[in-house]
Amino acid sequence: MATFNRTISRRVYKKRLREGVKYVKIVADLLRGEGFTVETPEQKIRQIRVKYTSDHGDIHIMVGENIRFTLEVKSRDLEFTGIEDYPYKSVFIDNVNQWNYKKHKVAAVIIISQITGKMFVIPLSSRKHWRAEEITDREKHDRVQKYMVHKMHCITFEELVKKLKEKIVLAS
């Protein structure tokens, strides 16, 4: 569940949430097309003021009645078609405090371009390469600790699909 942050306007926050839901749907539909059973928890804006809140992840890959893998989707207003032409050496994953507060285990973070619709993946196996960096938030204009990872530790969406299918077969 998303939480309204008083440092940005409610209008901007709602716009961000709507945009995010759109990209979660794109990724969920692609995963369904690969034969996965997928659930996408409803995203709501909380009315209470909480600095950090735990959500339940953006996409759940289901095996039977159980959640097998949880994925996060992060859309970026950047033009890229994959890892190779991502315009920076490092990729922003999430705010450090927000990530550390998550109660669910995330198998991977999918980074999708709002311009091209193309994507790549930051697998949780790259966690040992993540580093906290203080950067300026473009909209809030404040300094925030964010997890970053070099793009060499990312994989393609196709590689993620292959790994998920292998793990599901092994678990069966």
pLDDT tens digits, one per residue of 24-39: 999 999 999 999 999 9
Could you tell me which of 20, 79, 26 has the C-alpha nearest to residue 44?
Answer: 20
pTM of the predicted protein model: 0.83
DSSP character at residue 137: -
Confidence of residue 15 (pLDDT cuts 50, 70, 90): low
Please tell me the distance from the alpha carbon of residue 77 to that of residue 87, in angstroms, as a whole number. 11
Q: Which residues are bridge partners to 91 per DSSP?
A: 149
Q: What is the pLDDT of residues 144-161, one digit of tens each?
A: 899 999 999 999 999 999
Look at 14-18, 37-41, 54-58 and tell me which has the smallest mean pLDDT: 14-18
CB atoms within 10 A of CB 21: 16
Judged against a pLDDT cut of 60, whether residue 45 lies above it is answered with: no
Whether pLDDT at 3 is above 50: no
Which structural domains are found in the chain, ordered by start? 2-171 (3.40.1350.10)
pLDDT of amino acid 8: 54
